[in-house]
Homo-oligomer: A and B are copies of this chain.
């Protein structure tokens, strides 16, 4: 039997390192959907400076494609469909995760409906699997859905140029805790991905717990820094007496996340509140939503903050701090949407049109 085929959609800092880890292991056939950098990478390959893999020149995975549709237009069945794009359900229709997955999953289905597809979402947030489960009947399309949480300080600093300064650590598991096929697929994936002495890759038995845990940071700190446009150390130091950001925003917001998670039976370790507050206290780091906002791009607001708040509302959990951040960030997201032409505001009627 031939090796599994993997396609990675999204060629930012995460996607390229993901393709690199798989290609280095060399137990799978790796395709990467490159989009905007396609011509450059086709011609010159990637320039990678990686703390895990060293300096690579003209590096390429086994195959590159310009679009997911192009990747689907092949005779390969993709055992793993990996999505590393930003998850922005309120963004353009084409960028919604279920629409990115669609051509690849349908292609697999047409090619061999008896063979199992495994969709791995390496993305932020909670409840991000739902739009896929709602769009594609799981029995008909014969797929599992896997969660990847990636920690990697990796950035695309220029066309076809990746700079990885932080060691990669990925955990992969099944979104649906009762799906034994998914669990098996996740474990197999670790075998395709883990490069001893280089990256870290572990099977994740409790995906939802891990995602809530990561939300402690993202819902409280990522959001706040995005709102003001400040790195974490400045956000902390610029508070009243250097304290209010930590004690009036970050920590109360994290306690609210702990409360929401608890409302669905997930007990988070409170020591992570200090851990996450301190992790970038002295590190000149701008979280992803802050970077997006400064680039003028939409933020992953709904999966990071909107979805937790919808769960809180359903369970009657009070969230004054997180809700306050959300209602402000929704306006900022609107500003970004207008700047990106996704909504149009008529200054005569003072209404959003179309």
A: residues with CB less than 8 A from B are 224, 227-230, 233-235, 237-240, 242, 244-245, 248-249, 281-284, 320-321, 323-325, 327-328, 330-335, 338, 345, 347, 349-352
- CB pair A282–B350 under 8 Å, yes or no, is yes
CB distance from A92 to the nearest CB of B (A): 17
Q: Which residues of B contact A248 (CB under 8 A)?
A: 323, 327
Number of copies: 2
> What are the 9 tightest A-B residue pairs by CB atom distance, in nearest-first order?
A238-B334, A233-B350, A324-B324, A238-B331, A282-B350, A228-B331, A244-B327, A248-B327, A320-B320
- CB pair A328–B228 under 8 Å, yes or no, is yes
Which of B321, B327, B351 is A237 in contact with, Cβ under 8 Å?
Answer: B351
- CB pair A350–B237 under 8 Å, yes or no, is yes
- CB pair A327–B249 under 8 Å, yes or no, is yes
Q: Which residues of B contact A239 (CB under 8 A)?
A: 327, 330-331, 334
Specify the chain B residue showing the minimal Cβ separation from A337. Answer: B238
- CB pair B240–A350 under 8 Å, yes or no, is no
- CB pair A328–B249 under 8 Å, yes or no, is yes
Q: Which residues of B contact A320 (CB under 8 A)?
A: 320, 324
24 pairs from A and B in contact (CB 8 Å cutoff): A227-B328, A228-B332, A230-B331, A230-B334, A234-B331, A234-B338, A237-B334, A237-B345, A237-B350, A237-B351, A238-B330, A238-B331, A238-B352, A239-B327, A242-B352, A244-B327, A248-B327, A249-B324, A283-B350, A284-B350, A320-B324, A321-B324, A324-B324, A324-B325
Specify the chain B residue showing the minimal Cβ separation from A335. Answer: B230
Which of A228, A240, A245, A338 is most buried by chain B, counting CB atoms within 10 A of its CB?
Answer: A228
Bound-state Cα–Cα, A329 to B219, Å: 19
Bound-state Cα–Cα, A228 to B335, Å: 8
CB distance from A326 to the nearest CB of B (A): 8
Specify the chain B residue showing the minimal Cβ separation from A237. Answer: B352
CB distance from A110 to the nearest CB of B (A): 40
Given the known interface contacts A328-B224, A345-B234, the answer about A229 and B335 at a Cβ–Cβ threshold of 8 Å is: yes
Bound-state Cα–Cα, A282 to B347, Å: 8
Bound-state Cα–Cα, A318 to B235, Å: 24
Q: Which residues of B contact A238 (CB under 8 A)?
A: 330-331, 333-335, 352
Q: Which residues of B contact A228 (CB under 8 A)?
A: 328, 331-332, 335
Bound-state Cα–Cα, A345 to B229, Å: 15
Bound-state Cα–Cα, A338 to B238, Å: 10
Bound-state Cα–Cα, A239 to B352, Å: 11
CB distance from A348 to the nearest CB of B (A): 9
Q: A224-B328, A284-B350 provided; 18 other pairs, C-beta below 8 A?
A: A227-B328, A230-B334, A233-B345, A233-B350, A234-B334, A237-B345, A237-B351, A238-B333, A238-B335, A238-B352, A239-B327, A239-B334, A249-B324, A281-B350, A282-B350, A321-B324, A324-B325, A328-B328
Bound-state Cα–Cα, A242 to B242, Å: 35
CB distance from A88 to the nearest CB of B (A): 16
Bound-state Cα–Cα, A238 to B301, Å: 14
CB distance from A344 to the nearest CB of B (A): 11
